[in-house]
Structures are given as C-alpha cells and as structure tokens.
Amino acid sequence: MDRIEATNELSFRVGFSGHSGHLRVEPISTVERSNPLNSLPDFVLPPAFARETPDSIKAYIEETYLSPRLDPQEFSPEKVGRQWDFDWFERAKVPLEPSLPRSIVIPTWELPFRRQKKGSMQEKWEPNSVQVDVSELMLGAQDSLPRATGPAKDFVRGSINNRPFRPGGLDDSRSLERIHPEGASNGEWVREVLNGGPAQAITPSLKKGLDLGNLKAYPSSWNVYKDQSLLKSTSDEKLGELSVQFDDLFQKAWEEDVVLESEGDGPSSDAESVELECESNKDDVSSSANEPELSLLDDILSVESGGSTLKLDGMSGGGGKQLQQAWAVIGGSEGIAERFYELVPDMALEFPFELDKFQKEAIYYLERGESVFVAAHTSAGKTVVAEYAFALASKHCTRAVYTAPIKTISNQKYRDFCGKFDVGLLTGDVSLRPEASCLIMTTEILRSMLYRGADIIRDIEWVIFDEVHYVNDVERGVVWEEVIIMLPRHINFVLLSATVPNTVEFADWIGRTKQKEIRVTGTTKRPVPLEHCLFYSGELYKICENEKFMPQGFKTAKDAFKKKSLTGFGGGTGSYAGVSAARDGPQAQRREQSNRGKQNKHSGNQNLGNFTGTGGGNRSNGNSQNNWGSRRSDASMWLSLINKLSKLSLLPVVIFCFSKNRCDKSADTMYGTDLTSSSEKSEIRVFCDKAFSRLKGSDRNLPQIVRVQSLLHRGIGVHHAGLLPIVKEVVEMLFCRGVIKVLFSTETFAMGVNAPARTVVFDTLRKFDGKEFRQLLPGEYTQMAGRAGRRGLDKIGTVVVMCRDEILEESDLRHVMVGSATRLESQFRLTYIMILHLLRVEELKVEDMLKRSFAEFHAQKKLPEQQQVLMLKLAQPTKAIECIKGEPAIEEYYEMYSDADDIYKNKISDVIMQSPVAQNFLTPGRVAVVKSPSAQDHLLGVVVKAPSASNKQYIVLVLKPNLPSMAQSPLATSNSQGKRSADFPEGYFMVPKSKRALEEDYCASVTSRKGSGVINIKLPHCGAAAGVSYEVKEVDVKEFLCICNSKIKIDRVRLLEDGSSAAYSQAVQQLLDLKSDGKYPPALDPKDLKLKDVDLAEAYCKWTGLLEKMAKNKCHGCIKLEEHMKLAEEIKRDKEEVNALKFEMSDEALQQMPDFQGRIDVLKEIGCIDADLVVQIKGRVACEMNSGEELICTECLFENQLDDLEPEEAVALMSAFVFQQKNTSEPSLTPNLSQAKKRLYETAIRLGELQAQFKIQISPEDYAKDNLKFGLVEVVYEWAKGTPFADICELTDVPEGLIVRTIVRLDETCREFKNAAAIMGNSAIYKKMEIASNAIKRDIVFAASLYVTGV
C-alpha cells in the first residue's frame, strides 16, 4: 500500500485484518529530509511574463474564444464577394444513418427455357423487375429481421422499440419463391443445357456465374442438330409431356441422392444401427473417404441437409415414414463411444473422469454443431454436456446461455461454473457480468430478450435448457414453448431432461419447428441404484429394487401390520401409538431385505398443516396435531426412524414433507436430538457467523434465523419457500458439506438444489397441488427419490416411505414406484403480452406461434399428407347430373331432404312424436306417414290398431310403391315423403265384377259387429288392392314420420280378424284419394300438438314447410330420383371432405383460435390496438408489464390510479400484482389505501366482465382474485416507510421468505412501471416509481446471494 503522509509528518499505512474487515493502522519510521533552503539557487531570474491571476485568465478566454468577430484573414477587403466552399454538415459531424428503404426494385428470375430470346442464343437476357419489401428480399440471407444495431445500453436486455429476431424454421413461401424460385431448385433449368444453350450463364445482379465443371469445356457437345430441330418442331403438348418425364427422372435422382445422404449422415430412423453410425463417423473424420462419388448433377444441385429435408415435406410415397422421424434422430451407436477419442481428438474441455456412453455421444454431436436432447435420471451427469457447450462457446468466441426454471438453480450454477468459465448471471433482480461469454439466466429473462430483440442474441451459439420436463408446469410451462419457438435458427439447442416417455416426440416437435435435426441420447440406468422400503413400527421392509417390485417384501410388511392390528397396539385407532410401541416386527430381517411403503390418506391429511380437513379420510388423527400426545408420538416416530437409519449408516437423509408447516413442526419435535460432533458444530457456527455477518444487527436476531441456527448446530435442517433466501442458501451449503444429517424439506428441494443424500424419506405420498389432495405422480416420486444415492460415495441409494397406522395398497405402491413417468404435455396458452409483442412486428403472426406450439404439433405434422389428399380430391373429375326435365334441381332437393331429416332426428322424433299429445292422435283411422327401411322412401298409411297390453306397437296399413324399377331394390326413393307412389297412372285397375267375391260385392263398408280383438292375419301381411301394393305391419312410435290432419273410416274387425280383401280395397282407395297429385295430406297444426316451446314450434313449422317444398319440386316423382339422389349425396360428401380438409389446414382450425379472436376483441375494446391491429401507445405500455397482469397494470396507469398516492402507498398497492399466497390475514389499511384498493379491484372486475363478454372462459370474480392479492399491502407500506423487518413480520401470518420474495419482485415491477411512464411521458409517475424502488431496497430483503458473492 502507498505511503500516506500526515500533517505532522508522521507516516503510517492502513490495512484490513480479520474476517469481519477491521481497520489496522501501522506507523512507518520517518524519513530524514534535507533542508529545503540548501536547494535554492544563488540567483533567481525575474519571470518572463506577468503573474497570472484569475481575472487575467478570464479576460484571456473571453478575448480569444468568446468574443464574436470575423477572421481578419478570411474577411479582408481584398476578399470581398468571394464564395467559400464550406460544408456545414461535415463540420457538424452529425452521424447520419439513412433509413432502411421499405421496398426496392429487383429483377425477377425466369426459367431459362421460358425466357423470351431475341435473335441468337447468346444474346443477353434482360429480366423483368418487380417491387418487393426489403424484409422479404433479405429473408433468406439473414436470421434476423432487418434492423440496425441498437444502442449499447440495450445490448443485453433489448428494447421495446427493437424488432425481434426472425424465429428459426419460420418460413414464408411467398418470399421464398422470390429469392429462391421453385424452378431454380427442381432441375427445370437444366433444359437450357439440353436445348443446346450455354452451360455457364451469369445471373442478373451477379458478376460471376456458376462453375459447372466440365460442362463449360464442351458447350457445343450438347447441341445435336437433328434432335434440336425435332425439339423446335415439337408441339407445346409434347414439350409439356417431356417436362413431366424429366421431372420424374429428376425427382428419382433427387430421392436417390437423399437416400445416400441419409445413409452417410444418419438422419433416417435407422440411424441407430451400429454399422451405419460407424460409417457416418468414419466419413466425417476422414473427409468422406468412403462416401460414394457424387455425380455432376448432384454437385450442381447439392443443398444443405436442412433444405433437402424441407423439400421432402412435399414428397409422397414411402418418403413419408422417413420424414416422420427425420427431425428426432435417435443416436447411440457403440461406434461413437468406442472411437470417441479418435472422433474428437481435440476436446474443448478435458474431464478428470471417464465419460459415460451417452455423454460421449452428446459431446460428439456438439462438436459436429448439432442440437442434442439428453434424457437421464437425476445425478446421471447431464451437466457434463452443458459444461462442454460452454467450453465450445468459449473456444468459438461465441456465447452460450444456460437457462433454468428456478432462480435457485441459476444462482447455484453460477457458483459451480464460476471457476471454470467466463460466467455472467441475469435474473429479475441481479445482473452480473452480462458481457461474459457464458450467461446463466431464468427462462423468463431469455423470453424477454427475444421479444425485445436484444442484440446479444446475434452472438449466441448454444442455449442450454435444464430441467426440460418443467414444461409440464401449468403456470410457467408456456414460457419454455415460447422461447423454443422464438429462438433464431443460428442457435443450437442442448436440452437436459429427466427420463420421460415421449422424449422422441418432444424432440421431433422442436426439430420440426426449428427445421433442424435433434439428436436424442441419454440413459435409463441410474448411476447409483435405488432400493425402496416401507418403514412401519420401527422396521424397514424392502419392497422394490432395481426398478422391480417385490411382492414378498410387501407381504411381510402387511403381515406385520395385521399382527399389530390383532394385538391392538395401533391398527385402526387413528393414533400413532402403534408406531412408537415395542418393535414386534420380524427382527431377523436383514438390511438388504428392508422394505419401503407409502403413507395413507389419513396421515396425508395430517401432514399438510394448514390444509387439514380438506383431504380425504378425515379421522381422529387428522386434527390431532395440536395434541400433546400426538406430538410425543410424532417425535418418537422420527426418533425411531433416525436411530434406525443411523445404525444402518444411512445418514444424511432428506425427509420430504408436502407442507411448510409440517416441515417446521417435524423439525421442532426433535428438540432433544443432537447428530453432530464438536468439530462439525464448530464448522457450522463459523459458517453461520460469516454468512449472517452481512446482515445488520436487528436482522441477525430475527426469530427464524435464531431458530434455524439452533437446529443447524444439532445437525437438523429445514428447507422450504417460507424461509428467508439467505437462510435457505445457508442450509443448502451446509447440507452439501455433509454436516446436516437430517433435512426436512418440501418438494422444491428436489427441483432446485443439486444436493444428493444417502437416503430419502417420504413423510406421505399425498400432496395438495393447489386444487385438491392427490397421490404423487410417478414422475414426481422419481424426481424426489433420485436425490438418494451420492455418486462415488454410495453403492445403493435408499428410499423410505413412512407408514403410520396403515399400509397402502400394493397397486398404488406399484404405480408410484415403477409406473411410467409423466408425459411431456403442452401447457401453451395465449397471453395478452404475447399477442401484443407479435402484433408489433408485421412479419411475425400470432397464428405462426400457435401453429408451432407443442399442442398443435400432431395436427401440423399431418399437413403434408392432408395437402396430398386435397390435391388428389381436387384433381378428380367433377360428377355431372343430367336431368331429363331441364336444369338439374336435385342438389336443391337433396339439401331440403337433408335439412328435413336433421330436424326430424334432432327434435321431431324424440320430442314431438313421443309426447302424450301426439300419441293421443294415433288412433285407428288416423292417416300418418311411416318411415320405410330405406330411410328415404317413406310410406303413407293409416293406423289400424293402437298399442294394447299384449302388443306394445301400433298396427298400420301402408301403401307400398309398386313400380318395376323399385321391385329390384329395397331403396325406394330419397324423398322424405315416399312420393314415388304418385307415378302411378291416374286410373286404377279394377277386378271385373264377375270375378269378385260375394262379400266384396255386397257387404257394407263398415260393419257393426264387435270384434274379439284377436289378430288372425300373419304380420307383416302383404297384398294388392286398387292396383297398389299394401302391407300391414307393426310399427314403433319412433317410426312415425308425420301425423296427418286427416282420418278415414276403416273396418278394423274385417281387416285384422277376417282379412277381407274388400275392406283392404276400401282402405287403400281412401288413402289414394287423399294422396292427390302425389302430395300427402297436411300435417297436424302445432296448436293441435300443444307445442309450448317456441323453438320447437318453429322447428316443426320449418319441417312441414320443407316437406311441402319438396313435394312441389320437379324432382318429386322423377323416375331417376334414386340414382340422382345417390349422385347428389356423393357430390355433397366430396365437397364436405374438401372443405373439411381446407379447414383443417387453415388457421381457423387451431385449438386456441377462438380464444385468440376473443382476446383481439378485448384489446381493441380497451384501446391497446386499433381496428387494423396496429399496436397503440396503450399496447406498448402493456408490453412492459411482465411481473403483473398486463391489462390491470395498464388500466391502473392510464386511469391515473397512482397519482393521488404517495410513493410508499403506490408501491404497497402494487404488491397486489406480485403477491401469490391466497389465504392470508386481513391487512389493516389507511383510508387512502383502502380507497385505492377498492378502485383497483373494481377495475379488475370490469376487465373480467369485458373478457367474459367476448366469450373468453373467465369468471370476473375469479379473474380479480387470482390477479390481485392484497395480503401484503400493509406490510410493504410499513417496509417502504422504514419499519424494521422484525416488526413488519408481526403484521401478517405470511412466512418471512414469501415477504422477501414479494418485495424483490416488487422492485422489478417498479422498474416496469417506470419504463411504462417513460413511454407515456408521465414524469410524475416516473419519479414516484424511482423513489418507491429506492425505499424498498434495503437490509435483509436485498441481501446478496451467498452463491453469487461467496461466503
């Protein structure tokens, strides 16, 4: 340190000493100085200039620089009238940046053989020009939308004024045609060579043409005059035929080229075979020595693999199967692992241990610049792949981004990578070294950078997604999908995930979305095998090992439970007496046979603290936590477990409880347990003192810190979201050091912290997921159980499930332990901020985002196949109907028939015909229309007999059509009224009188004798009368099509008992009289049927009206009606299929399109966008709101709800946007805050009602309650006023950790409101947010992370 001289000539130096940085002052021996008088010269010359004073300096500056006057040299009298060449813009040095032109004129590309050739063949081609947008022209050349680089301050975070980068895989067919027409890539231009044209041509706007190799040396050898003359004389039709043949040949050559390429590089589904993969590796290393020599045509037409895959999308035939798996390539041949150091001789990062097979494969693919998806169990070594991607970015002088779903993971990874790489950290409240080549950030930060077009995106080569299975998260899973969709195409992916069933499907979606292959690798083998045990009555029972369930072990545990139940110690009592009783289980069980089990729903109810009573199975133990006896029982149970694990050397242990309250209470019950040695106690004390020394005095004595320190000294830890962040980090670091022996934790410890243990214990296998109590899913169980077993330290990891008063069913245990993990499912949903960001840029559409979501993956995957089917259907010749009566009307007739049939099926048949009123009309003699089996030829008939006790059906006499053409087929006609019978001649054939039977001639039409009710004829009874066929049959009420308003006189006795042909003739004749001109009698009036429902009456009238119109149509009664109806049905079916295919391929078929339309209407209504979907200033403000609900925040600003509030009140009210806990104590607010709270809540209700009005599935009350939680308004208000943290904790029942988390997020909200105020031009709000942000930024709430600053 430099020497400091004091006024009294005493020299000293200042230093630091001790861990807490005490100042140390050390005196330095004085230096003897010489007498200054001895250094003076004998004679001093007078000064050359007068002594300068402040006044003289000021006068000189004013005279020289500030006094305006003309230059005497330039403005002399001799130079009067001279003009000076003076460039003011040059002197001003203003950096002029010309604006990018919106459109330019470019030449259009034309197929060579279609160009207009004037004169000789060698004449220069003059292309036509067309005006295009710059963005479309630059689409193929740049990955980003054309824009200038922004200012340096927006380099990392971006700006709302920037345009986002163009997402990879986002194609624009219209633009692609202009920059790369189809004719330029499918080989048609080769015809110019075939026609004898020049082999080398210079494309317009280029200085040099293509080098076609040997072709340029023999330009005339292709010119065969005889064939040339033939070609010239060939007609256009033959030329078209030639082009088809050439296209077929070229496509075949292209397919063969792709097959060769797939065999060499391995993009096909067979790539996992060892031989092919070895060949591909050898080819890559030895410069493709064994690759077949490509033909000249292949050289000319060679394109990159991504382009060839894109072309394959349009191919038909056998290529479809290969295409379906072309994007997700399952790598993993033995050749890579065996020859790894030969394939990757110069590794970017050396590892001090031997890599696993899947790690070698992933690193090999990274070296080749390919994206990888690694699926492996927890602690299997997936981080090695991420580290290698970081090393590659450093080697290539690019950047890599590591993104994780949880801030804790980001902080921990920053600490882990800090010593190895050039690392920076970006989270919501921390920005450390953003210029570093390796950046660690949360997924939300990366999404914001993409939407805001941060220029740093240009430098990124790798994006590493850790914990990809987090995409299943309902709340935040959509962020992962947005980021994957929005990333530009120059960025490669490294995806790290736990083992999931549909890994290949997810990778296929990413590859298809980004138009690049994704190599899938990984392992299902655990580095440390697990054994699963039940803990019951002081003993461990092994029930699962090596992923195999052991029924014998489960049976042993069940027998022990039954034995204890019989002795009356604990079974079925609902208490914990049996757990702490003497161990009467099989003591001879060896440790290798110890089992594990699952907590029942009663203990699950108990273990959930605040949620007591909301789960299933509430027994006496459900509410007994406050009971002293229950606490003693609980303590003895934990003590019994810890002692058992300690004896078996199974510590340290992580005990998962699914409630913060349960974790705290369980730890507090172990007040007499001490698990640490004196040296460990010393290490814990020193570490805690150093960690908490950064807090001020009052914060160090917070009850939570004192309590946790007391637990830590005894080797017991607690970890949940209610802890202060610094306390959680202390617990995590001490656990990683191995001095904490027992850790009570919630589920977040398994997701957010890489800290494996020797043993994992499940307090219960039931959890509350925010909506209901349910069993753990297999994926959740596997994630937490994976923390058991420390690689390199333990041979076996032990997982224990607590059993208190019951053993769970074997099927439930099997499901959770060896069941299939949860599939990756899309949680994609539209948000207003997503819509507004995409509407800001014309080139990006919301529909494109919807199409590329994982939810739409399968529908979009079928598009090429659907397009081929559509083309085939459109290419089929149209069927024509030739009408013998002039202009065809069959389509109109068929439409009426279809409508009538639909109405009948949906309403008439079920509602009207089966009503009691309608059945009262179906009495003998009532005329009705009955459906025939053909469902088209409906028959006129009369009811002969109503249902009775012996016969539940109606007996009806119906007229049957008797035309010769109808005798062959049961399908009589397509007429819904059976109108064919109208084609009979007007006269009827009558039997001569001499041949009539006696009774037919002389008997009366209606007999007066009473029948016996017996039916003597055999049903169905067929016959003929009056030249018409008839049939008597049984009919169900559902078969009646229409009840007519007419009745006829019939003789039921003679019809059914005697079978009189005269009676049949009379009945048939009466029916024929009613059926005049082929029309049926009118139907009953709706009033007669007493239809009270207006809609039903309208449907009935419409139906009867359709029947009348059909009767008047000229197709009615046509002899070709049946044939034409079939044709009309086929034509309509074809049209419907074509329309259905077009709809499925359109944007309207997207699942979330209705929701999108509703949200667009809402944004228009509140003024965020105008009628042309142009984002207004209100929408730009909404784009800034990331932490709160964007609509409510925006309305709050534009309604000036914060204007009359002080900064402390404003920030307190804003806490409602970010606070997340639902059930809290009611805060005590000032009158001003209470009024502001009411006003904000009313705004949320109004917005909720507006969204419900536009058909968005939202309840206004739920919308307001979900997005506004006022539980911490009072706490934040007092904190902003300067109240100590210990005092504000007394104001609420919210845990300290949630208070800190809310205030930290609130600082980010203040920053967003400040940016929004700048956009609005509201300086008052800008200043207010600045003051509020400074007011809350202090003390323990904003203490730096131990991971970031170190201890």
| Per-10-residue mean pLDDT, the chain, length 1351 | 52 61 64 64 68 87 80 65 53 51 64 55 62 52 52 85 83 44 52 52 53 46 42 43 43 47 40 37 38 36 34 35 63 79 91 92 93 90 94 93 88 89 89 92 92 91 92 88 92 91 92 92 90 92 90 91 72 35 36 37 36 35 43 80 93 93 92 91 94 88 93 95 93 93 91 84 89 88 90 91 87 90 89 92 81 86 81 78 67 77 70 76 85 64 82 83 40 35 38 43 44 73 82 82 83 79 85 74 78 76 76 69 76 82 79 90 95 92 92 95 94 94 86 94 96 92 93 94 92 92 93 93 94 92 86 69
C-alpha dihedral (290, 295, 297, 303), degrees to nearest 10:
0
Tokens representing residue 1121 in the block: 């009606």
Count CB-CB contacts under 10 A for residue 655: 24
**Which CA distances in Å does 350 have to 334, 390, 392?**
21, 13, 12
Give the predicted TM-score (pTM) of the model.
Answer: 0.67
- The residue among 38, 37, 27 whose CA lies nearest residue 5 is 27
CA dist 442 → 405, 475, 1303 (Å): 6, 15, 18
Q: With H, G, I as helix, E, B as strand and everything else as coil, classify residue 1211.
A: helix
The per-residue pLDDT for 30 is 56
Write down the pLDDT at residue 2. Answer: 54
How distant, in Å, are the alpha carbons of 360, 387, 419, 421, 730 from that of 416? Answer: 22, 10, 7, 10, 16
Q: How many residues does the chain have?
A: 1351
Q: Are 796 and 531 in contact (CB under 8 A)?
A: yes
Residue 797 confidence (pLDDT): 94
Answer yes or no: are the C-beta atoms of 1213 and 1233 closer than 8 Å.
Answer: yes
Q: Where are the alpha helices (DSSP H) in 212-268?
A: 225-233, 236-265
Residue carrying structure tokens 């050039």: 422
CA distances from 1207 to 71, 1186, 1241, 1332 (A): 57, 21, 20, 5
User: What does the DSSP 8-state code read for residue 516?
Assistant: S
Dist. CA 639–CA 634, nearest whole Å: 9
Q: Which of 823, 764, 762 is nearest to 787 (CA)?
A: 762
The label of the residue with tokens 């220029």 reads 455
Q: How many CB atoms lie within 10 A of CB 456?
A: 18
Three state DSSP letters for 389-405:
HHHHHHHHCCEEEEEEC
Query: What pLDDT is attached to residue 1137?
Result: 83
Reading the block at residue 399, the tokens are: 């950047």
Q: Which pLDDT does position 1176 carry in this prediction?
A: 94
Encode 82-102: b = buried (16+ Cβ within 10 Å), e = exposed: eeeeeeeeeeeeeeeeeeeee
Give residue 969's pLDDT: 32
The one-letter amino acid code at 914 reads Q
Longest dimension (CA), the chain: 178
